[in-house]
Structure 1
Amino acid sequence: MSTITTEELAETTLLRFATAGSVDDGKSTLVGRLLHDSKSVLTDQLEAVERVSASRGQEAPDLALLTDGLRAEREQGITIDVAYRYFATPRRRFILADTPGHVQYTRNMVTGASTAELTVILVDARNGVVEQTRRHAAIAALLRVPHAVLAVNKMDLVGYEEKVFAAIAEEFTAYATELGVPEVTAIPISALVGDNVVEPSANMDWYGGPTVLEHLETVPVAHDLSHCHARLPVQYVIRPQGPDHPDYRGYAGQIAAGSFHVGESVTVLPSGRASKISGIDLLGEPVDVAWTTQSVTLLLEDDIDISRGDLIVPSKDAPATTQDIEATVCHVADAPLTVGHRVLLKHGTRTVKAIVKDIPSRLTLDDLSLHPHPGQLVANDIGRVKIRTAEPLPVDSYADSRRTGSFILIDPNDGQTLTAGMVGESFAAPEPVRDDSEDDGWDF
C-alpha cells in the first residue's frame, strides 16, 4: 500500500464505525486482521504481538491482541472496554470502536455505537443469530446507526458453505428490517484466515460482493448534522479580565448540529430570551460562519443572562421546552431502574433533577414484542420510560438530532450512569395503553 501524504489525508472523508457481536464471534480478530492487512499496524506493535503469541506457543500472531489492551482482557480472552483505533487508507479515514460482546458489557457497546455511522455485527457461522446478536442489532437500530454490516465469521469452520451464509443473512436481515435498520450488507468472512476482510477470498467464489474494507471505503457517509437545526449547548461563559477586553462576553461550546452565522437571530433556552449574533470566534480568530462539531465562542448583541447548560438556537426553529419526556432507553447499570426512581438527567451541558414517572413497556428481543408495565428495567433491558424533570428542557426528537435528542440518567448518590435515553419513538411496534390508576403520586 502506498504512503498517504498529508494533503491526500486531508481530502479523504471520515467514517466512524463500531464492531459488535456475541462473545468469541471474533470481533477483535477481525479488527486486528483489518489493521494488519491494510498495513495500519506499526512494526513495534506487530513485534510485541508476535512475542506474546510465541510465548503462548502460537505459530501465527494473535491479531486480537492489537485491540485487547487491558491485562484482564488478555488473561480472560474477552473484550471488556471499548478500544478505539484510528487508521486510514488512500480512500478514507476511520475511527473504529471495538466493543465488547459479553452481555455484562453491553453498556460499553452503547458507548461505542452512539457516535457510529456504521456498525459491523459479527456472527459465528457455526452458531448463527443468537440473543446477543439480536440485542446489538436492536441497540444499533435504537441509536439510529444508518448502516449495518453483517459479517458472518468463521466460514472456514463450516466448509465455506454458501447455504450456511445465506440462511444466517436471511434471518438477520429480516430481524433488522423489522427493527427499522435502513440498510444491511451481509459479507461472509474468516477473520482468522483473512477471507474477504481486505482481500477477496478464493475459497468463496460464489460470493460476488465487496470485502469488509472495500465496503467501509465506499459506503456513503452523509454528515447530515450540518443540515440539522442548529444547536449550541453552552459550556462556558468567557469574560477576559483587563483593559484590552472591557466589554467582551462570549458563550463557548461545541456546535452539536447545524451552523450559525453572524447577524442571525437566536434564542437562548430555556429562558426564551432573543438576540442576534454579533460575532463568532473560532480558534481565537473571527469568522462569519461556524458549523457542526466546531468549538466556537458566540458573541451576542444584547447583554442577557446566559450560563452553562443553556442552549443557543436559531429563533426560527427553536425546540419547545418541556418537563415531560418520553423516550426509549437502554438500561446499563446493575441496579434496576424503577417507577418512582429519583435521578439526575443530563442533556447536553445541563443536568437537572428528575423522576421516573412510568415504565410503559420493555422490549422482548426474540419477537420484538413489548411487555407492558414491567415495573422496572434491569441491566441491558431496552424499554420505554416517561420522565418528569424539575426544570423545563429544550429537547429534540432523537430521529431529528442524535446529539440534542439524547440524554443519560445518573444516580444522584454516587454519580453512576444508569440509563442512556433517546427522546421520541424508536420502534414501530404499538405501545401498550397505560393504566392511569397506577399513578405513583410524585410531582415536581
Structure 2
Amino acid sequence: MSSTDLWHPFADMHDVKNSQFCVTKAEGSWIYDDAGRRYLDGTASLWYANVGHGRNEIVEAAAAQMRELESYFVFNDFTNPPAEKLATRLAELAPVEGAKVFFTTGGGEAIDTAAKLARQYWSARGKPERTHILSRGNAYHGTNGMGTSIGGIDANQAGFGRLVPETSRVPHDDAEALRSAIETIGAEKIAAFFAEPVMGAGGLYPPEPGYLEAVAKICVEHDILFVADSVICGFGRVGSWFGVERWGLQPDMITFAKGVTSGYLPLGGVVASGRVAAPFWDEPGHPFRHGATYSGHPTVAAAALANLDIIEREQLPARADALEKPLHEALLSLADHRAVAEVRGGVGLLGAVELTPEVLDDGGLPRLQKKIRELGVIVRPLGKALAVSPPLIVTEEEIGLIGEAFREGLDAL
C-alpha cells in the first residue's frame, strides 16, 4: 500500500507508514489480505471475534434494528427495547446478586466507569476518603485516563506526565502482597482492587492456583470492592460467560467488552452487584454523573443479543473449555525449542510463547511474528512473547496449524 494518513494505535508510525498489512475480508476463523491471501486468525482480531467472522445473523439483526431505530441515547429516563433486553440478559447471566448493567462503548470506558463508580459508591456511603485504587503489575486495563493510571505495563505510562493520583500496583501473582499494601495504605482509604482473571496484554499470565480466590477473600475481609476485568476473558474465552465462574468468584463489579458482540459493533460495560447499585437505585439524590454518548445504543445492543444467541446455541463456552487442552498441548510442544524460554496457557482458549533473552535481544520477536504471518497464521506480540487467542469456533486441525507455524517460524530464527 502507499503511504497512509491513518495513525495506528500502539504503532511506530515511522516504520508503519509505508508497510501496512491490509485486511480486506474475513470468514469463519480466517482473514484475507488485499492480495487475496488467507491467514488463520490466531488472535480473533484483538481477542474479540469469539463467534468468528461473517456471521450473517448478527449483520441482519443490526440491519433490522437500524431500519426501526438506528440510535438514541439512554441518559436520564430515555431507553429503548434492545438496550433493556440486553441489560436484563446480561444481569441474569452474571454471577453476582442483584446485578445492574451500565453500558459503554468499549473496555477502556468500562474500566473508567467501574473506577469512578467505586469511588462514588463510597462517597454515597459517607466515606469519601475511600478513593485509592489498587491493581497489579503487568495489568492492562485499557488506555483511557483511569485505565492508563492503574495499568501495570510501564511503557504504556511513559511520557504522559502525571496520571490519576491515589492508585498503586502490587505484584500480579502474590496475594500476600495485596494484604501488605492494604495494611500500609489503610483499608479505610481504599475503594477497590482490579484484577483480570487471566492477564492478557501484560504477557498472558494465567492465575497461580488459589490466587484469585485468595485476593477475593482479602477484599471481603477489608471491605474493599473487588472488580474483575473480564474484557478479554468474558463470553466463553475461558469457558464461562464472564470468565470468573471458573474460580467461583462473585465480584462486586465485572467489566466487559470484546466478546459481548464478538467485535461486530463496539460495546462494553460494567455489571454492578446489587450492593454497589443500592445507594444509586434505592436512595434519592445520588445520580451517577457519568456516561458515554452511545451508551445503550439500540443497534449495538441488537447485534450483541444476536451474538449471545450464537454463543448459547453453539455452546461456545463449553467448546472453548474442550479446546483448551489441544491448544495448550500445541504450544507446549514448542517448549523444548532452544529459542523458547516459557510457554504459558492451559486456562481457556489463550496461550503465549515467550522467547529467550538472546533471541529477544537480537530482535527476534517482530521477526518471528512476521515469519509466522508469512506462513499463514496471525499471532500477536505481547512483551517478550507471542500470544494466540483464536475464535471459539476454531477446529483442532486449525489449532494444529498454529503449532506448525510456530515451529517453522522458530526454526527460521
What TM-score results when the alignment is normalised by the length of structure 2? Answer: 0.26
Larger radius of gyration: 1
Which structure features the higher share of strand residues? Answer: 1
Q: Which has the higher contact order (CA 8 A, sep 6+)?
A: 2
Which structure features the higher share of helix residues? Answer: 2
